[in-house]
Amino acid sequence: MSHTAPMERAAVPSDAAAGTEAAADANPSWIRVEGLDKVYHPKRSAPTLALSDIDLHVRRGEFVSVVGPSGCGKTTLLKILAGLIPRTKGEVSIAGREVDRPIPEVGMVFQAATLLPWRTILQNVMVPAEIQKLDKRKSLARAHDLLDMVGLGEFKDKYPFELSGGMQQRAGICRALVHDPAVILMDEPFGALDAMTREYMNLELLRIWKESRATIVLVTHSIPEAVFLSDRVVVMSPRPGRIAEVLDIDIPRPRELRMMSSDAAGVYVERIRKYFNASVID
Amino acid sequence: MSSTNMSTNASTDPSIDPSAAAPNPAAQADQKPSDQSPPGVSSGRSWRPDLRGRPELWLVPAVFVVVMLAWEFGVKLFGVKEFVLPPPSRILEQLRVQLESDLFWRHVWVTTEEAMIGFVIGVLAAMVLGTAISQLSLVEKTLMPYIVAFQTVPKVALAPLFVVWFGFGLTSKIVMAAVISFFPMLINVIEGLRSADADRIQMLKVFGAGRWQVFRKVQMPSAMPFIFAGIDIGIVFSILGAVVGEFIGAQEGLGYLLLQTNYNFDIPGMFAVLVVLSVMGLVAHAVVRLIQRRVTFWAEQSRVIGA
Ligand SMILES: Nc1ncnc2c1ncn2[C@@H]1O[C@H](COP(=O)(O)OP(=O)(O)OP(=O)(O)O)[C@@H](O)[C@H]1O
Ligand SMILES: [Mg+2]
């Protein structure tokens, strides 16, 4: 395991955290990334080393966030985990299976909502269920529930162009969850949302995570968000993308928004922020 | 996320009302002008045109009236002979006479039939070949040079050949209409299928879509605006193809009638046929546009992120 010891332990040990750890011991690394390199070979320019020597182990049911400056390879890492693009070197496996193509148990939220403009919101959310030929009645019920949950209940039969960017992004989140995936990969899912909706969505995400016991890898630009949501935060450094540090976030669960203003959270945020500042000076 | 936000929101009840976060979105959606809503989605739209800010609604008919009047009186003023340029009133008169004759309608029907059958064949062939080219790179690499080369041939120049091959009947005109509507359609099908957004294709693949599903769910719908552009050009071209075929050798059809009126120095009658031909083209175009608006309503809106 590559994660470093946390700088300081939170004062209150929690039962929830102990529970996750017990489950983790049974299945120590569910997502396994070892010695991963990714080189892009663009047609008209020199090759780019986007990821270099990435080691990452995620336990089953764990919530891991990835933060790092723009262009450091976060999207690249997620796409490799999703089996969308080939890796250059190293090993990637999920639940013991090598990832060299998309796996149906994975759900992904994209950086842009990438909805299909000719489908209604509900039809968009149903895309994974259609592709995987899941039971239609059950999937429809779940799609309705998810859309109600993200506040799009009245917009099910609207088309994407009738919705704001943030609303489209929420629909994209529902789509990633409709087939009840065991692994959820999220690429800045809340970037287009206003602060209030974002906090609400954070809480909902924690609820979904708890209910589905899914493993979540979340890429975010917001350091406080990463700290608030995660068991661990992976900090990446820019060009070539490497893992600068992995922090355990020992804030007890269930988490509430007011914990964000706690000293413990503040310490984590400050510590991660230092990496960003250092890379800006570079 | 600022800490002030968090403390105001620090409710122990996790089910914060989301509508509080997104202030009254329904009202925003309703504020859109009705002409931005797609057909079938909007609720109650008015059919009475809004004249304010749309001067073209009276400018277009005004230009027509001015041109017609200038033509009518200009021809009389300068004493232009009727067999050179008849005044609009004569053309209208002749048109009325023709529209009352069954034989004339027979000619209209023949040309329509040739054009439509040819058009359907041309469009279907272009769809099949265009799909094969876009899906199989070997087909593309093998056939593209021939398609490009053949595209440079002026297709109407083939009409005499088709008459030799397929005779003076319907077939040679159908072939001409098919060939001439095939090419604009083919190019649009290929371009349209290629236009599918790479992110949307990746999205489908994450959820396990195979090639066929990617084609059905993203590439085909993405191609629809292009396909309709091709159909719009193709349907008008098919009328052109049928008329050119009739010029070369035929016993009926509007192209044949054009030549007949021309031989007989019935210039008003010739203009009347031209009027009918352009009305046919306009009707075809209008029908295509009507269907297009219903099928690709989403393409007129560009506010989809990731597009
Ligand atoms: N398809 C591609 N071809 C060539 N280079 C690419 C490609 N995709 C990404 N890159 C390069 O790889 C690097 C990492 O890109 P990536 O999109 O993973 O960054 P990111 O961390 O997600 O950035 P952001 O926070 O802005 O979304 C960048 O330098 C980018 O230019
Ligand atoms: Mg990115």
In a domain, A25, yes or no: no
Distance, in angstroms, between A3 CA and closest chain B CA?
26
- Measured by CA distance, the residue closest to atom 9 of ligand 1 is A76
Residue A3 lies in a domain: no
Mean pLDDT, rounded, of chain B: 82
Instruction: Return mean pLDDT, chain A.
Output: 85
User: Is pLDDT at B22 greater than 50 in this prediction?
Assistant: no
CA of A75 to the centre of ligand 1 (A): 7
From B209, which residue of chain A is nearest by alpha-carbon distance?
A131
Beta bridge partner(s), residue A97: A94
In terms of C-beta density within 10 A (0-12 exposed, 13-18 middle, 19 or more buried), how is residue B302 classed? Answer: exposed
A215 located within any domain: yes
B217 touches A at CB < 8 Å: yes
* Residue A214 included in any domain: yes
The whole domain housing A193 covers 61-77+100-281
Q: Whose CA is nearest to atom 1 of ligand 1?
A: A40
Partner-chain residue, chosen from A84, A106, A196, that has the shortest CB–CB distance to B202:
A84
Residue B21 falls inside a structural domain: no
pLDDT confidence tier of residue B34, bands split at 50, 70 and 90: very low
pLDDT of B16 > 70? The answer is no
Q: Check residue A154 and give its pLDDT.
A: 94
Model confidence pLDDT, tens digit, residues A98-147: 999 999 889 999 988 899 999 999 999 999 999 999 999 999 999 999 99
ipTM score assigned to the predicted complex: 0.82
Which tops the pLDDT comparison, A215 or B40?
A: A215
Is 80 exceeded by the pLDDT of residue A168? yes
CB-CB under 8 Å, B3 with A261: yes
Instruction: Specify if B12 maps to a domain.
Output: no
- The pLDDT tens digits of the residues spanning B64-94 come to 999 999 999 999 899 888 888 999 999 999 9
Preferred mutation among A75, A84, A118, A193 to probe B, highest tally of B CBs within 10 A: A118
Q: Which of A232, A215, A249 is nearest to A60 (CA)?
A: A215
| A42 touching B (Cβ < 8 Å) | no
Whether residue B43 has pLDDT greater than 50: no
Contact A184, A109 (CB under 8 A): yes
Q: Determine, yes or no, domain membership for B270.
A: yes
CATH number at residue A253: 3.40.50.300
pLDDT (0 to 100) of residue A61: 92
In this structure, is residue B207 part of a structural domain?
A: yes
- Residue B71 placed within a domain: no
Specify the CATH number for the domain of residue B259. 1.10.3720.10
Residue A213 domain flag: yes
In a domain, B163, yes or no: yes
* Ligand nearest to the CA of residue A72, numbered in listed order: 1
DSSP chain B: --HHHHHHT--S-S---HHHHTT-HHHHHHTS-GGGSPTTTSSS---S---TT-THHHHHHHHHHHHHHHHHHHHHHTT--TTTS--HHHHHHHHHHHHT-HHHHHHHHHHHHHHHHHHHHHHHHHHHHHHHHHH-HHHHHHHHHHHHHHHTS-GGGGHHHHHHHH-SSHHHHHHHHHHHHHHHHHHHHHHHHHTS-HHHHHHHHHTT--HHHHIIIIIHHHHHHHHHHHHHHHHHHHHHHHHHHHHHS-SSSHHHHHHHHHHTT-HHHHHHHHHHHHHHHHHHHHHHHHHHHHHSGGGG----TT-
State the ligand closest to the CA atom of A38: 1
Q: Report yes or no on A260 lying in a domain.
A: yes
Residues in B closer than 8 angstroms to A106, CB to CB, are 206
pLDDT higher than threshold 50 for residue A11: no
Residue B208's domain comprises 87-295
Q: Which of A98-107, A269-278, B204-213 has the lowest mean pLDDT?
A: A269-278
Q: Is residue A112 part of a domain?
A: yes
Consecutive H or E run containing A137: helix A136-149
From the CA of A54, the nearest ligand is 1
* Residue A69 alpha carbon, nearest atom of ligand 1: 25
* Cα–Cα distance for residue pair B132/B138, rounded to 1 Å: 9
Instruction: Give a yes or no: residue A224 inside a domain.
Output: yes
pLDDT grade, residue A278 (50/70/90)? low
In a domain, B36, yes or no: no
Would you state the pLDDT for residue A262? 83
User: Which whole-number Å values give the CA distances from B286 to B63, B236, B274, in the listed order?
Assistant: 21, 11, 18
Whether the pLDDT of residue B184 is over 80: the answer is yes
Is A133 within 8 Å of chain B by CB? no
How many domains in chain A? 1
How many domains in chain B?
Answer: 1
- Nearest residue to A85 (alpha-carbon basis) of A53, A50, A115, A132: A50
Ligand 2 centroid to A250 CA: how many Å? 27
What burial letters (b/e) apply to A237-254, b meaning 16+ CB within 10 Å?
bbebbbbbbbbbbbbebe
Q: How much is the average pLDDT of B223-247?
A: 94
Please name the member of B14, B301, B305 whose beta carbon is closest to the beta carbon of A168. Answer: B305
Residues of chain A with pLDDT > 90: what percent?
Answer: 57
Q: Which residues contact B270 (CB under 8 A, 6 or more apart)?
A: B258, B261, B262
